[in-house]
Amino acid sequence: MADALSVIPASVLRNLSDKLYERRKNAALEVEGIVKQLAAAGDHDKITAVISLLTNEFTYSPQANHRKGGLIGLAAATVGLSAEAAQHLEQIVPPVLSSFSDQDSRVRYYACEALYNIAKVVRGDFIVFFNQIFDALCKLSADSDPNVQSAAHLLDRLVKDIVTESDQFSIEEFIPFVPDIDMLGFLPDFLDGLFNMLSDSSHEIRQQADSALSEFLQEIKNSPSVDYGRMAEILVQRAASPDEFTRLTAITWINEFVKLGGDQLVPYYADILIAILPCISDKEEKIRVVARETNEELRAIKADPAEGFDVEAILSVAKRQLHRVEVLSFLNDIFDTLLKALSDPSDEVVLLVLEVHACIAKDPQHFRQLLVFLVHKFQVDSSLLEKRGALIIRRLCVLLDAERVYRELSTDT
């Protein structure tokens, strides 16, 4: 420690533990400069002493501000070492990793920031600590402090980039480490990345991603508790991928989710429709078959607005997709359901239903069918005629040709 005190002024050490961030930051810049000079002189003994001082007197201090200063100091020392940092990583990284479990959320935040800056400097040399870092990131992804979560996600992205570009990463050493972690619980965090790999230029990567996704889907089938919501959002986006295999895999997952999740997926009904309706008319037959099966499964779910079923959102999705001939054919058999929706207590829902009807009625056959059904509905439900008759007719005249509407009504009445 005496060697370190001889090269770092007392004022710098004092500011490194100051309560003000700016003073700690300026002190860290001083440390960076000192270490850079020592590295240029090849004095690694003094560099080791500086790192020991930062670790023992600061990072492991009972005072939170000292710990924060120690972390920013270790990152600064790494930046000062630059290309020579690798030989000191065994000394630098462990105290930073131990700070990930600090009781003070700000210290945990600075630990993420410090490790991020260290990783940026050493890149591939960082891989030897991957298992410990992976474990820490898994825990921090569920941290109680959103700022810590955000910092952990930034670090996570950098680590992914480093692993991707490195030839030192050992999958054989990493895999035995995974069974100790509930990977299914973290699946929503990396599911999108796995789907992204399905369209990778490397056949091996595509194959491994497909294999991993198949295993996870099997785990989901066997698990009593699954967070379908977050994953459903990812699958909806991936079902619109330009890559055919990615679309097929996404729609297959959605199909399984609908079968497994049932009522749990009611709040995501509209999002799922966004995914499956375009796939019903996909150029690839396998995708069309799965999409149609999923559509049937969805229709079998007894949805109730009280359980999160958003009628308005469903109608909006249906309206956007009505230009597709295949989708239109599937809506034929829910015509009566759409007519019943005209009695909904919400005017907004009724107006949306009328827009859907108007889209369908652009086809001459459906135009006549709509008016015939509507007249019949008015005849059997006088309250609908009294409460909503004027609104329905006026809106249809706006959405469709008013003269055609009145001519057809006069023919049917």
* Average pLDDT of the residues in 219-233: 84
Show which of 309, 342, 366 is a domain's final residue: 309
pLDDT of res. 229: 79
Which residue matches tokens 């008319």? 281
Q: Could you tell me the pLDDT band of residue 238, with boundaries at 50, 70 and 90? A: very high
Residue 46 covered by a domain: yes
The verdict on 155 and 100 lying in the same domain is yes
Higher pLDDT, 305 or 78: 78
pLDDT of res. 323: 56
The verdict on 142 and 210 lying in the same domain is no
pLDDT of res. 319: 57
pTM (two decimals): 0.48
Residue 320 covered by a domain: no
* Average pLDDT of the residues in 316-341: 58
Q: What percent of the chain has pLDDT over 70?
A: 84
Residue span of the structural domain in which 124 resides? 1-170
Residue 271 covered by a domain: yes
Using CA atoms, how far apart are residues 306 and 302, in angstroms rounded to an integer?
A: 12
The verdict on 221 and 93 lying in the same domain is no
pLDDT of res. 138: 76
The residues, ordered by sequence, that sit 6+ positions from 3 with a Cβ below 8 Å of its Cβ are: 45, 46, 49, 50
The verdict on 186 and 139 lying in the same domain is no
Per the prediction, the chain carries an average pLDDT of: 82
Q: Could you tell me the pLDDT band of residue 133, with boundaries at 50, 70 and 90? A: confident
Lowest mean pLDDT among 42-51, 109-118, 362-371, 389-398: 362-371
Both tokens of 183, joined, read 């990977």
The verdict on 333 and 354 lying in the same domain is yes
Residue 318 covered by a domain: no
- CATH (domain of 126): 1.25.10.10
Residue 266 covered by a domain: yes
54 pLDDT above the threshold of 90: yes
Residue 165 covered by a domain: yes
The verdict on 394 and 368 lying in the same domain is yes
> C-alpha distances in angstroms, 367 versus 380, 381, 391?
20, 21, 18
Show which of 109, 138, 170 is a domain's final residue: 170
Q: Could you tell me the pLDDT band of residue 250, with boundaries at 50, 70 and 90? A: very high
Higher pLDDT, 187 or 97: 97
Show which of 149, 170, 191 is a domain's final residue: 170
Both tokens of 392, joined, read 């329905």
Overall number of domains in the chain: 3
The verdict on 85 and 225 lying in the same domain is no
> C-alpha distances in angstroms, 122 versus 100, 145, 212, 302?
20, 28, 30, 56
> C-alpha distances in angstroms, 209 versus 170, 173, 174, 249, 397?
17, 19, 16, 11, 53
User: Residue 199 carries which DSSP code?
Assistant: T
The verdict on 244 and 332 lying in the same domain is no
Using CA atoms, how far apart are residues 283 and 19, in angstroms rounded to an integer?
A: 63
pLDDT of res. 307: 53
* Average pLDDT of the residues in 186-211: 84
326 pLDDT above the threshold of 50: no
Q: What percent of the chain has pLDDT over 90?
A: 34
The verdict on 271 and 393 lying in the same domain is no
The verdict on 281 and 400 lying in the same domain is no
pLDDT of res. 269: 79
The verdict on 211 and 188 lying in the same domain is yes
pLDDT of res. 332: 53
The verdict on 134 and 257 lying in the same domain is no
